[in-house]
Chains A and B, each alone.
Chain A
Amino acid sequence: MSDENPYKKLKAPHLKKNIFETPEGYFGDLKEKITLGLVTEDERILSSEQLKKSIFEVPNGYFDKLNEKIISATKRTEEEGILGNETLKKNIYSTPENYFESLNSEILSKVKPETKVIPLYQTTWFRAVAAAVVLIMVALLSMPTKQLSESDLLSEVSDEAIINYLEERQAIEYELLSSVEGLDAILDNMILEETSSYSFALNENPELDYDFEYFDH
């Protein structure tokens, strides 16, 4: 029966009674014993005030000058180190003779486009476009009377592709021809817009413009 119900026995009050005992007055001395035990023999000697006195000394006014010395130490690395050697500061690079004299005029010639305006009809791209227009016109005009061999060639290309091509070319030509005069204005506008937004950003927030993200690597 007891096997079937083991907890009943554990609930009996007398089982909870502490059967261990201490010598008489043990707890009264315990605190003192622990305190004493913590202080070792050595510590009792080290706690002597005389021993705590520093035997090291510094020259008079040492700490007043320490800061100054540390600050000048960074300068000293340069002044007294190898880098203090003045010959190292010599510029070892040179330029071709009279380089700076010609540099000035070279830059001036590049920033003054008004001194050498190239007429539109003289520009390479304009000539290229003009040549292309002429060629295409000739091709368009001569197509109906072309020999069979050429239509044979063209027949290999789908009608859709040819139509697309011609339409595209015509659109480009039309746009170019109709706005030749407007082109300069458009370019000027583009340049103006670019430079004004550039200089605006530069002055409003120089950090943004010259973001030296590639300084550290």
Chain B
Amino acid sequence: MDDHQIIEGFKNPATKNKAFSVLLDKYQQRIYWHVRKIIIDHDDTDDVVQDVFIKVFKNLDGFREASQLYTWVYRIATNEALTFLKKRQRKQAWSIDDVNHDLENKLTSGSYIDGDEIQIKLQKAILTLPEKQKLVFNMKYFDDLKYEEISEIIGTSVGGLKANYHLAVKKIEEYLSED
């Protein structure tokens, strides 16, 4: 079942659940890892991923395939993940530094994380980036998405994304070179 078939299947009440199940099988892991890299903590990610797919379920009827299904799902996931961090920041009356500090703590002492020193350092370096650079870097470096796809997901021009990625790479290289 390709994306178009999933969308068509979802419109038919008889095949709706089957189509959604296929969509879940196809995208849940990619979306999970995407969100996990933003939120770091497994349990928080679990909550957000469920919300993402519940939103997808509620809104897929109105999806008109102006963009690709998976960039649309990525978009919802990105938004949900960032909203989650923003909500917690507001709730705890944190500054953005506090948020990053909290994420860094989770990175070093959280469960379900297994990386060597340099791999952890890379994740810490990513945390120091402004949000957009962080997103572009993750999607380009780890997920191998094309700029055109990232552009659909976070709504920035391809040129702007290239500049953001270049800046991100530069900052991360500098961070990794420090002792």
Do the two chains belong together in a single complex? yes
Residue of A nearest to B137 (CB): A83
Across chains A and B, the number of contacting residue pairs, with CB separation under 8 Å, is 139
Interface size range of chain B in the complex: 35 or more
Residue of A nearest to B89 (CB): A214
Task: Determine chain B's interface SS by DSSP, over half rule.
Answer: helix
Interface size range of chain A in the complex: 35 or more
Residue of A nearest to B65 (CB): A203
Residues of A with C-beta under 8 A to B66: 203, 206
Q: Which residue in A203, A210, A214 is a CB contact (below 8 Å) of B86?
A: A214
Q: Which residue in B96, B112, B166 is a CB contact (below 8 Å) of A93?
A: B112
Q: Which residue in B33, B50, B96, B169 is a CB contact (below 8 Å) of A81?
A: B169
Does residue A142 face the partner (Cβ distance < 8 Å to B)?
Answer: no
Residues of B with C-beta under 8 A to A77: 166, 169-170, 173
Residues of A with C-beta under 8 A to B59: 195, 198-199, 202
Does residue B79 face the partner (Cβ distance < 8 Å to A)?
Answer: yes
Does residue A88 face the partner (Cβ distance < 8 Å to B)?
Answer: yes
Residue of B nearest to A194 (CB): B58
Does residue A111 face the partner (Cβ distance < 8 Å to B)?
Answer: yes
Knowing A104-B24, A196-B62, say if A83 contacts B169 (CB, 8 Å): yes
- Write out, one digit per residue, whether chain B residues 61-79 have a CB within 8 A of any chain A CB (1) or not (0): 1111011000010011011
Residues of B with C-beta under 8 A to A83: 122, 141, 169, 172-173, 176
Does residue A2 face the partner (Cβ distance < 8 Å to B)?
Answer: no
A-B residue pairs, 7 tightest by C-beta: A199-B62, A92-B115, A111-B57, A215-B132, A199-B59, A203-B64, A215-B131
Q: Spell out A's residues near B (CB within 8 Å).
A: 74, 77-78, 81-83, 85, 87-96, 99-100, 103-104, 106-108, 110-112, 195-196, 198-200, 202-203, 206-207, 210, 212, 214-217
- CB-defined A-B contacts under 8 Å, sample of 23: A74-B166, A78-B169, A88-B118, A92-B115, A93-B112, A95-B32, A100-B28, A100-B32, A107-B28, A111-B20, A112-B17, A195-B59, A195-B62, A198-B62, A199-B63, A210-B75, A212-B154, A214-B86, A215-B82, A215-B131, A215-B132, A215-B135, A216-B130
